[in-house]
Amino acid sequence: MYPPSLAHLENYHIILASQSPRRHELLSGLNIPFEVQNISVEENYPAQLVGVDIPMFLAEKKAKAYTKKMTEHSLLITADTIVWHEGAVFNKPKDRADASRMLNALSGKTHEVITGVCISTLTKRKTFHVISEVHFAHLTTDEIEYYLDHYKPYDKAGAYGVQEWIGFIGVEHIEGSYFNVMGLPIQRLYTELKRWGKG
């Protein structure tokens, strides 16, 4: 049963086009039915894009790639998350050496996690972004190596999952949404879904 605030979505077939188990888990928390569909899109973008423009572009790119599969009753949710640090993007690491490089660069510093989210139907699209600032403690080489040995975070932007061991021992504090750092700013998404179709 839909929460009363989202009852206006009952006639939609809600689709989350994402391979991320974290996003599946977070969207499930809204207590609305949805279907998960995997979508394969090359996560490249124009070189001139920086910061918030990158995940918003990629979220829309994923939505456009899925459009042919949509019907008039489809409501599609796509998202992309990046780590932005000192003017550079930290995407998913290519290998262990790349993951180690990223974590060493983030150690003892503050970085931004930016998620772009696109909600779309065949006739309407809404794209937004959310930024969280994450403050990392200094990580020792042993701590980084232990994390890479046991968690292998090669599917995560910035080479870490905040909900994993490295988050427990490394994240001093977060300014902004914790769930955004996990990969989906669920409170903001809920707010946008509440407004959907209401003008």
Domain ranges of the chain: 4-195
Cβ 95 vs Cβ 102: under 8 Å: no
Q: Give the pLDDT confidence of 9-22 residue by residue, as tens digits.
A: 999 999 999 989 99
Which tokens belong to 11? 């006639």
Cα–Cα nearest to 107, from 139, 133, 65: 139
Say how many C-beta atoms besides its own lie within 10 A of residue 96's C-beta.
14
Q: pLDDT band for position 88 (50/70/90)?
A: very high
Residue 155 is among the residues annotated as catalytic for this protein: no
50, 102, 175, 190, 192 from 187: Cα distances, Å: 25, 28, 15, 5, 9
The catalytically annotated residue of 80, 98, 142, 149 is 80
In angstroms, the Cα distances linking 172 to 56, 59, 81, 136 are: 27, 29, 21, 6
CATH of domain 4-195: 3.90.950.10
pTM, two decimal places:
0.94
Cα 17 from Cα 40, distance rounded (Å): 9
Contact of 112 with 157, CB cutoff 8 Å: no
Average pLDDT over residues 136-141: 98
The pLDDT > 70 percentage for the chain reads 99
